């Protein structure tokens, strides 16, 4: 009997030891699969995030699972633009704003700029005023629109309406600001930084995500009370043999910081607007969608809402909303976001309300022969400027970088606290196969530079395919005032250049023709209108789907 008991105990212990050893060296993520080392950061080792699950969406973002679709497939092309040749494209999963950026969201940005970089100080003046939307876009020489000019941006009655009068450059700068404010708050809520850093921002102590990742000691002016003032900051990192703390700041590998808010690419926007999940049978699509909703008509076919318009658009000549009452769409200009039903992804106003800026530079042709994965035209590759002492160059309060736009508007494109950038050079491009220069906006765009007959040494104007006007802005050295010189040449044959961006979606000023997600047009990136707004997107890291092990059918 005793022998049997001994054997039972021996077997149980063997199983326990076997399971324990397997968990330590094979199945437990806290130990390296390569070396068996502890990955928790104890005993002076390197700490890795081993229990990361899925990316958390940022504020106002909706998940869009990527996939394949036919980009540029339109139902109608009466304008004969020939810029919608259907191409098969694949888009990775991403997040997109549930609705367009509203006046209230943009006012938060303006008020933060005013507080942090007071426009009363001469060296900061153009930071704030360069970000303010152009409220004069509402004016019409034969229309009385002063109500919108004076009230649309700031009056609380319009706080949930999409912001307009914002050019593409301003939209990009808003996106950068939004990234930094969201990540700054995440660090505070996770207990790594003090809330005083966020609430007491000044020109000399601004938080930016990229600076925090690359050189955290230069964030908040190097004030450790703000940088390490959270409840979890003492638990971050470890002490080395000299008693100094290492790895005490959150790093990219910790998974705390979110990717950038940005403008969606044209492919992402069109894919998200189509929302083709409702007409999917297994791995193919049945039928064709003309609008973000099912069906081929702009009015609802549901019994409860029969006859109601499904978007805010111009219904006909002099008809911006219908006859007041039952058949009215509820808006004559823009409408409060989320006033109409969302599409299959839960995205609102992907047709109507305002047209939207996307990231791409416009070209009539989408070059799917070269790329059919995450298509985007507009890449300009840069790198951080490194000082002589080997540290990253961070701009101080006297080093704001401004861009003077063709319409003479001055916009700050690099604020104090941000890392200074420069184009990549031969160090990054030598013997690479996929790219060989920093500037790739006009790569394979059909111009003469793409031809084997192009004379690389010639600088003649006739070597440009896109012979667009070249307006000049100079500064008079005597007066210091801007001198504007408009190109009025009769030899110009196009308005397309490297500074025009794609517009997607219809607006309150547009006919139903533009509600088709595949329709595309362009507008100069430095100009703004009363019918163009924008929304942000964010790349997804990790798995394609948010649901692992789901049933595919």
Residue 469 lies in a domain: yes
Give DSSP secondary structure letters for 282-310: TTEE-S--SSSSSSS-SB--SSTTTT-BS
Q: Tell me the three state secondary structure of residue 384.
A: strand
Residues in the chain predicted with pLDDT less than 70, given as ranges, are: 1-28, 42-44, 240, 277-288, 301, 303-307, 326-327, 447-465, 547-553
Residue 319 lies in a domain: no
Strand partners, 533: 356
Residue 29 lies in a domain: no
Q: Which residue's entry shows tokens 């000549």?
A: 317
Q: What is the pLDDT of residue 52?
A: 81
Q: What is the pLDDT of residue 126?
A: 94
Would you state the structure tokens that stand for residue 506, as one six-digit string? 């219809």
179-185 contact pairs (CB < 8 A, 24+): 179/209, 179/258, 179/260, 179/261, 179/262, 180/207, 180/208, 180/209, 181/112, 182/58, 182/59, 182/258, 182/261, 183/207, 183/209, 183/212, 183/257, 183/258, 184/209
Question: Residue 33, class by beta-carbon neighbours within 10 Å (0-12 exposed, 13-18 middle, 19+ buried)?
Answer: exposed
User: In the chain, what's the furthest Cα-to-Cα distance?
Assistant: 110
Residue 69 lies in a domain: no
Q: What is the pLDDT of residue 420?
A: 95
Task: Label each residue of 2-38 as H, E or C.
Answer: HHHHHHHHHHHHHHHHHHHHHHHHHHCCCECCCCCCE
Cβ-based neighbours of 102, under 8 Å, separated by 6 or more: 159, 160, 161, 162, 163, 337
Would you state the structure tokens that stand for residue 214, as one six-digit string? 């690359």
Cβ-based neighbours of 345, under 8 Å, separated by 6 or more: 62, 63, 64, 96, 272, 275, 277
CA proximity to 349, closest of 64, 97, 152: 97
Q: What is the pLDDT of residue 548?
A: 59
Contact 372/87 with Cβ under 8 angstroms? yes
Distance CA 273, CA 356 (A): 12
CA proximity to 178, closest of 111, 132, 109: 109
Would you state the structure tokens that stand for residue 58, as one six-digit string? 């940022």
Q: Count the Cβ atoms, other than its own, within 10 Å of residue 91.
A: 23
Question: Residue 278, class by beta-carbon neighbours within 10 Å (0-12 exposed, 13-18 middle, 19+ buried)?
Answer: exposed
Distance CA 265, CA 437 (A): 21
Contact 512/492 with Cβ under 8 angstroms? no
- Identify the domain containing residue 492 by its residue range: 463-497
Q: What is the pLDDT of residue 10?
A: 58
Distance CA 324, CA 240 (A): 74
Backbone angles phi, psi at 345, to 5 degrees: -90, -5
Residue 133 lies in a domain: no
> Running DSSP on this structure, what letter comes out for residue 359?
E
Contact 279/197 with Cβ under 8 angstroms? no
Q: Tell me the three state secondary structure of residue 409.
A: coil
Q: Tell me the three state secondary structure of residue 542.
A: coil
Bridging pattern class, strands 61-64 and 537-539: unpaired
Q: What is the pLDDT of residue 87?
A: 92
Residue 467 lies in a domain: yes
Residue 487 lies in a domain: yes
Q: What is the pLDDT of residue 229?
A: 86
> Running DSSP on this structure, what letter comes out for residue 350?
S
Question: Residue 196, class by beta-carbon neighbours within 10 Å (0-12 exposed, 13-18 middle, 19+ buried)?
Answer: middle
Q: What is the pLDDT of residue 1?
A: 52
Instruction: Return the C-alpha torsion angle 247, 251, 254, 259, nearest 10.
Output: 170
Strand partners, 383: 422
Q: What is the pLDDT of residue 553?
A: 46
Total domains, the chain: 1
Number of helices and strands in the chain (H, E): 10, 19
Distance CA 164, CA 155 (A): 14
Residue 377 lies in a domain: no
């Amino acid at each position: 009997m005793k022998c049997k008991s001994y054997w039972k105990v021996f077997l149980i212990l063997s199983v326990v030891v076997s399971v324990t050893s397997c968990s330590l060296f094979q199945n437990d993520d806290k130990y390296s699969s390569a070396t068996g080392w502890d990955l928790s950061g104890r005993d002076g080792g390197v700490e890795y995030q081993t229990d990361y699950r899925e990316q958390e969406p940022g504020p106002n973002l909706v998940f869009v699972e990527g996939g394949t679709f036919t980009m540029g497939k339109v139902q109608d092309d009466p304008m004969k633009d020939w810029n919608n040749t259907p191409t098969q494209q694949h888009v990775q999963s991403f997040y997109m704003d549930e609705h367009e950026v509203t006046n209230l969201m943009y006012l938060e940005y303006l008020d933060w700029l005013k507080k942090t970089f007071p426009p009363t100080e001469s060296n900061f003046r153009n930071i704030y005023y360069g970000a303010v939307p152009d409220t004069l876009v509402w004016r019409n020489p034969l229309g009385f629109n002063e109500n919108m000019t004076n009230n649309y941006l700031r009056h609380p009655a319009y706080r949930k309406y999409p912001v307009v009068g914002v050019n593409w450059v301003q939209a990009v700068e808003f996106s950068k600001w939004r990234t930094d404010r969201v990540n700054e708050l995440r660090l505070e809520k996770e207990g790594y930084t003090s809330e005083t850093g966020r609430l007491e921002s000044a020109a000399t102590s601004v938080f930016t995500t990229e600076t925090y990742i690359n050189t955290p000691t230069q964030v908040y002016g190097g004030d450790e009370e703000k940088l390490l003032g959270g409840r979890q900051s003492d638990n971050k990192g470890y002490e080395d043999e000299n008693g100094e703390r290492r790895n005490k700041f959150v790093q990219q590998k910790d998974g705390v910081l979110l990717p950038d808010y940005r403008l969606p690419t044209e492919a992402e926007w069109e894919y998200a607007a189509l929302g083709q999940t409702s007409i999917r049978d297994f791995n193919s699509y049945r039928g064709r969608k003309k609008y973000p909703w099912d069906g081929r008509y702009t009015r609802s076919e549901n019994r409860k809402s029969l006859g109601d318009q499904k978007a805010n658009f111009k219904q006909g000549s002099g008809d911006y909303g219908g006859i007041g009452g039952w058949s009215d769409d509820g808006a004559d200009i823009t409408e409060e976001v989320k006033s109409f039903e969302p599409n299959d992804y839960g995205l609102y106003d992907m047709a109507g309300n305002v047209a939207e800026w996307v990231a791409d530079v416009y070209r009539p042709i989408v070059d799917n022969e070269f790329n059919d994965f995450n298509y985007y035209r507009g890449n300009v590759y840069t790198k951080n400027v490194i000082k002589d002492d080997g540290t990253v160059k961070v701009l101080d309060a006297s080093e704001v970088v401004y861009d003077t736009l063709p319409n003479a508007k001055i916009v700050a494109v690099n604020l104090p606290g941000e890392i200074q950038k420069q184009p990549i050079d031969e160090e990054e491009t030598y013997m690479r196969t996929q790219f060989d220069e920093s500037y790739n906006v006009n790569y394979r765009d059909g111009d003469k530079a793409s031809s084997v007959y192009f004379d690389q040494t010639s600088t003649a104007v006739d070597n440009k395919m896109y012979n667009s006007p070249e307006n000049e802005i100079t500064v008079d050295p005597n007066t210091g005032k801007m001198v504007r010189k408009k190109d009025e040449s009769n030899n110009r044959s196009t308005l397309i250049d490297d500074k025009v961006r794609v517009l997607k979606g219809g607006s309150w000023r547009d006919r139903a023709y533009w509600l088709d997600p595949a329709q595309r047009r362009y507008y100069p990136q430095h100009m703004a209108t009363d019918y163009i707004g924008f929304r942000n997107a964010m790349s997804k890291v990790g798995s394609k789907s948010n649901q692992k092990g789901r049933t595919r059918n």
